[in-house]
Amino acid sequence: MLWFDLDDTLWAMTENSNDVLRRLYHENPAIHQAFPEGEERWMDVYHAVNAELWRDYAAAEISRDFLRRERFARPLRMGGLNAEEADRLAAYLDTHYLDLLGACKGLLPGARELLERVDASRLRKPGIISNGFREVQHRKMASAGISDYFSVVVLSDDIEVNKPDRRLFDYALEVSGTRAEDSIIVGDNPLTDILGALRADWAQAIWYNPKDLPVPPELEPYIGRLRIAHTLEDVEKALGLIY
């Protein structure tokens, strides 16, 4: 069975998130106050903080609630807001951000074409496996019009375990009634999507790597089951959908 990660593999998380962050910047005078240099500085700081928190969350070092609170509160504190004001605004921003994000429709170039080819093939209907939050991941897929391409959606929230923990990959096999030796993942994160699946003994992993990043040393023992795709068209080729 074929599985996809969602964010920045099919759904354009970075671009959609930036659209929402720009809107938040222009709607909230306190963010202007914290980042008078402009919206780009606000987004750069947010993304740096958010990436660090997601790494910690994937490693089970912080909670979901801590991530959601701190990814806005920390940048605001860094911009000079006092802790009380930063925490108060962060609580609002978190809810509003997720609400706006769930309404975004943007897919990565070629994502819909890839899903249409998979749908038209003899492959079993694929699944989604994601560390994203339950209340927004399903809305993202619905807004982008891709929900019907998938037979099952497995989220870290389902069992409170994140990729790369093999328990989430084993759970995905359980709910889909499939076996590791028949499973393939396509994902953009080499250390959560790809390493997690390979350590869980999945047959193959296709790393969507548009920035041509070097192979992390952690993946070297699994190189025989790893394919690297620099475009989503390369993913189609790796799956034998086009030649």
**Percent of the chain topping pLDDT 90:** 95
Question: How far is residue 56's CA from residue 54's CA, in Å, rounded to a whole number?
Answer: 5
- Residue 242 — very low, low, confident or very high, per pLDDT cuts 50/70/90? confident
Task: Report residue 165 as tokens.
Answer: 């923990």
Record the pTM. 0.93
pLDDT, the chain, mean? 96
- Residue 243 — very low, low, confident or very high, per pLDDT cuts 50/70/90? confident
What's the pLDDT tens digit per position in 5-55? 999 999 999 999 999 999 999 999 999 999 999 999 999 999 999 999 999
13-102 carries CATH number 3.40.50.150: no
What's the pLDDT tens digit per position in 128-166? 999 989 889 999 999 999 999 999 999 999 999 999 999
Q: Which CATH class is domain 2-12+106-238?
A: alpha beta
Helix locations, the chain, DSSP H: 13-27, 29-34, 39-58, 64-78, 83-102, 111-120, 134-144, 156-159, 166-176, 195-199, 232-238
Question: How far is residue 2's CA from residue 137's CA, in Å, rounded to a whole number?
Answer: 19
Tell me what pLDDT residue 17 has.
Answer: 97
Question: How far is residue 126's CA from residue 115's CA, in Å, rounded to a whole number?
Answer: 9
Question: Which sequence spans correspond to the domains of the chain?
Answer: 2-12+106-238, 13-102
- Residue 106 — very low, low, confident or very high, per pLDDT cuts 50/70/90? very high
DSSP reduced 3-state for 153: strand
Tell me what pLDDT residue 209 has.
Answer: 98
Indicate if the pLDDT at residue 215 is higher than 90: yes
Tell me what pLDDT residue 70 has.
Answer: 97
- C-beta neighbour count of 137 within 10 angstroms: 21
What's the pLDDT tens digit per position in 14-25? 999 999 999 999
Mean pLDDT of 52-63: 93
